[in-house]
Amino acid sequence: MIRSLRCRPLGPALFLVLAIGGCTRAPNAPPDFSALVARVSASVVNISASAPDAGDDESDTPAAGASSGDETPEWLRKYLQQHPQEGAPAPGASAPPAGPDEQGPNQPKSLGSGFILRPDGEILTNEHVVEGASEVVVRLSDGREFTAKVLGSDQRSDLALLKIDAQGLPAAKLGDTRKLKVGQWVVAIGSPFGFDYSVTAGIVSAKGRALDSEPYVPFIQTDAAINPGNSGGPLFDMSGEVVGVNSQIYSQTGGFMGVAFAVPIEVAAKVAKELADQGRVQRGWIGVVVQEVDRGLAKSFGLSRPRGALIARVLPDSPAQQSGLRAGDIILSYDGVGLQSSRDLPPLSGNDDPGKMVSLGVLRAGRQVVIRVQLGELPETDAEAPPPKPQPPSPGALQRMPPPSIGLTVRDAAPGNGGSREPPSGVEVLSVAPGTARAAGIVPGDVLLVIAGQTVNSVADFKRVIARLTPGQTVPVLVRRRDGPLFLALQVPAAL
């Protein structure tokens, strides 16, 4: 094949020539990963997990690919549906007949990857690879297979620690993501779609990505090709050190689309140590419900730009309540680390141990203060109560604001509107006319609790607070909705 290459001739001039091989690589050509792959591949393992027998009364875990109550990621579910021989039959499909080499009723539930963490047989992989499995089999690069014991798993980080009966294994060397830079090359090795020891390469696209599914993990984003079967496999830097555990992809098709996420190795190593030592993971907990600070809210609270984590609710009997944090406080820093987004807070607090004393830089009523909080332990389940059901309208005081106005019809909040944990308070919005309230995002059913820092317990309070607002200013409004508390930025009309 004829290629256009930039070569160095024997003379002093540089020029472009056409050559058939034999030319040195251009200075800006992609790196050669072959030596790195040869050095680290032995630390990578293949993992297969078998689903329990459908007739086993001891397990009610749904088969992978089931549609009812199934929490399997969408991309993995599509993969299992399209590969029935490697997973449970797709919904409505009949199971294929058992072949002579199949191991009885326990068919492979999922295929994934992992890597050797310690020479004595500790292996790290994703939790979703082994979740609900009756048997986990680990295959090494030399072809040996071992039945693995699950020492522990952590759903919040999607990590699981396995142990096989082997010694002297080639453990992976762990790296340091603090030295990892956006734009650097990384290499992934795993078993996408069952193709063992497939190697893909890409660059670090971003660091510290927060995902709604795992808010306590600051993910590494990469464009190295990751597909079903890569789950749990290592992400290597150019020195051959593991910097992440491949965990998720963003996809609209079920396959790779250039956006993949890996758990940083520091997070993974901490989780693995706690799983090995105590079988579970403890995380620090402040006990607040926070939201993003947008441009309107930043203006209403006197911030020069959007940043920080706005506290919408302080949970009862939490470290936050004991330390005096309030709804309306904006956490700007955590132990000296600035918060650019509300999503920065959970990984920082969750990575610290319960009992640690931390300093929070807080904006309160226009002044910056420092509040010390002793972290509690993050509860196993969500501390928030389920959202209350809508209450039918009941008689109450009504007040229609005259134009020009913020455009609200309100009444005293009905008993039970705040749920069993909170006494009735605030005013309920019955209708929203065109105006600044609608522009702020207030909708019927919202309960207004605080306006411009003033508590609203009745329609009389509402009228008094509204009358004192300065025309043209932007003020924060705390509302309670079915899905939780929320601050909105309300621009006061030029005339009320």
Q: Catalytic residues, which ones?
A: 128, 158, 231
Q: Which own/partner contact pairs does 203-206 have at CB distance under 8 Å and 24+ positions apart?
A: 204/180, 205/259, 206/182
Residue whose tokens read 């830079």: 181
Select from 173, 163, 367, 350 the least CA-distant residue to 271. Answer: 350
The CA-based angle 411-417-419, given to 5 degrees, is: 160
Element (H or E) spanning 467, and its range?
helix 459-468
Q: Whole-angstrom Cα distance, residue 87 to residue 76?
A: 10
Q: Whole-angstrom Cα distance, residue 262 to residue 265?
A: 9
Residues 6+ apart with CB under 8 A from 34: none
Residues 6+ apart with CB under 8 A from 38: none
- Coil, helix or strand for 406? coil
CA distances from 449 to 117, 288, 410 (A): 51, 17, 12
Q: DSSP 3-state helix, strand, coil percentages of the chain (rounded to 5)?
A: 15, 35, 50
Quote the DSSP letter at residue 75.
H
Query: HSE of 92 in the Cβ direction (CA atoms, 13 Å)?
Result: 2
Supply φ then ψ for residue 14, to 5 degrees: -115, 135
Element (H or E) spanning 412, and its range?
strand 408-412
Q: Whole-angstrom Cα distance, residue 139 to residue 234?
A: 15
Select from 209, 285, 277, 194 the least CA-distant residue to 247. Answer: 209
List 112's β-bridge partners, or say none: 47
Structural contact between residues 205 and 180, judged by C-beta atoms closer than 8 angstroms: no
Q: Whole-angstrom Cα distance, residue 99 to residue 96?
A: 9
Structure tokens belonging to residue 271: 């989780």
